[in-house]
Amino acid sequence: MTYAKKRYLNFFAITIFTLVLPFITVNGNHMLLLSFDRMEFHFLGFAFEMQELYIMPFLLMILFIGIFAMTAIGGRVWCGWACPQTIFRVIYRDLLESKIFNLRRIKNKQKNIDYSKTENKIKKVLAIGIFGILALIISTNFMWYFIPPKDFFIYMQNPQEHVFMVMFIVTVALFLVYDIVFTKEHFCTYVCPYSRIQSVLYDDNTIQAIYNTNRGGNIYEKGQKSIFNVKQWDAAQECTTCEACVKICPTGIDIRKGLQVECINCLECVDACTSVMGKLGKKTLVNWGSTNEVLKDTKTQFFSLRNIMYYLAIAICVVLLIFSASKKEYFLLNVNKTTNLYEIKNNAQVSNNYLLTIQNRSKEAYTFDIKLEDNENFEIKRFKPFKLEIDKRVKKVLIIETKKRLFLSDTKSTPIKLKIIMFAKEKPNEVYKEQVISFIYPRNDSFK
């Protein structure tokens, strides 16, 4: 099977996966969702409130370190095999323009379309129109990662009430049409920053599309093309100068020139050379391998010191991510002081008022109660256990009082650190939260 067919199968699998993923839920939670409406982030079936986004730094570190590691090991394999830009260009160029409307040959991507023919102009408009419809589907699918499909279809019943959502979808669709139809692979070359960092991440062990100069010979000398046809070769050089690898390249480069930022590792040049050289009974001159493997005839070291450091860094981030996610909170507790810092009763009792905001984030209804770690000097007043249903939020007033005369300061009020423990009576050892608060005790001359 050619690399092109493998890429098409891979693109198909990625497309189906991307379309289906927003509909997959685990216990009511999505596999991947960043909901600004619900102020939640769903990841692998776990739901995290915005207050719990301490896992995001680890996800981002895994993403960026993973990109560096993937590039150092497999070159721009993401660009050629998984990037949405590449997938959409293949759909438009190889499927619509080449297969359906026959505007260009699939093996000659460098030949421009002849628009002097009215028939070709009509086909071009139809191809853009069809891709425009696909772009709307793509942008809608993208929106499902921010608005759950169930909510999305409800919102679409009254689009006038959700103008921003509709405008976002249309804007993304228009951008896709402009990018894929008109900007084309120039986006990869001039806009995408990934191509600019690849050269500093490559080494002799990086897997990439490489022209074998040992067998084929040097087409270029000092960056300039020196060989134009097979008659200029010595007998030992195997390249036929057919330039099949050049014609099929979507970014318009000559792989025989060496590493170039435009190369996206699509490996179409490898397929082209394999086909031509195969007819001559020879192996391809353009290989997918490392410099060590293709040019130096040594093994590729996938466990070089640099790669090992990448593996180790990713493993540490994954462990920290799992540890952080395992600390998921069953309920949220927010404690705020009221405007009245303290109150003195009967010239001895001092009380502080607090406003508690509690949200039940578990999948069970619990009866919540609260206690103090220091119950000898302080006690709770006017707080009764209450039952809180799933995904419900309530506000409660908490009054903490001390009857003891503490004689702390003659000059200022003194904050005393207290630890409160809120817990579910059904699972007191599992569903609980500890929080340190400040109890403001008045200065001594405040007492009569």
Residue 49: inside a domain: yes
Residue 180: inside a domain: yes
Q: Read off the CATH number of the domain in which 405 is found.
A: 2.60.40.10
Residue that the structure tokens 């990018």 belong to: 179
Q: Is the pTM of this model over 0.85?
A: no
Bridge partner residues of 398 (DSSP): 354
**Which H or E element spans position 402?**
strand 393-402
Residue 361 confidence (pLDDT): 76
Give pLDDT < 70 ranges for the chain: 50-53, 231, 235-236, 326-329, 347, 448
Question: What is the identity of the amino acid at 373?
Answer: E
92 and 63 in a common domain: yes
Residue 51 confidence (pLDDT): 63
- Rounded Cα distance between 218 and 36, Å, is 56
Which residues touch 296 (CB under 8 Å, ≥6 apart)?
204
Residue 53 confidence (pLDDT): 67
Residue 379: inside a domain: yes
217 and 70 in a common domain: no
Residue 448 confidence (pLDDT): 66
178 and 37 in a common domain: yes
Query: CA–CA distance from 220 to each of 225, 236, 242, 246 (Å)?
Result: 4, 17, 15, 14
Residue 342: inside a domain: yes
221 and 164 in a common domain: no
Residue 310: inside a domain: no
Which residues touch 63 (CB under 8 Å, ≥6 apart)?
none
Residue 300: inside a domain: no
354 and 226 in a common domain: no
409 and 341 in a common domain: yes
For 182, the domain range is 3-198
Residue 413: inside a domain: yes
What are 403-448's pLDDT values in tens digits?
888 878 878 888 888 898 888 888 887 778 888 988 888 888 777 6
39 and 66 in a common domain: yes
Cβ proximity of 381 and 350 under 8 Å: no
CA 72 to chain centre: 19
Give CA angle at 401 (395, 403), nearest 5°. 170
Query: In the chain, how many domains are there?
Result: 3
217 and 190 in a common domain: no
Residue that the structure tokens 């679409």 belong to: 156
What are 182-197's pLDDT values in tens digits?
988 888 888 888 877 7
Give one DSSP letter per residue of 48-112, joined into a string: EEGGGGGGHHHHHHHHHHHHHHHHHHHSSHHHHHT-HHHHHHIIIIIIIIIIIS--S-TT-TTSP
Residue 71: inside a domain: yes
257 and 150 in a common domain: no
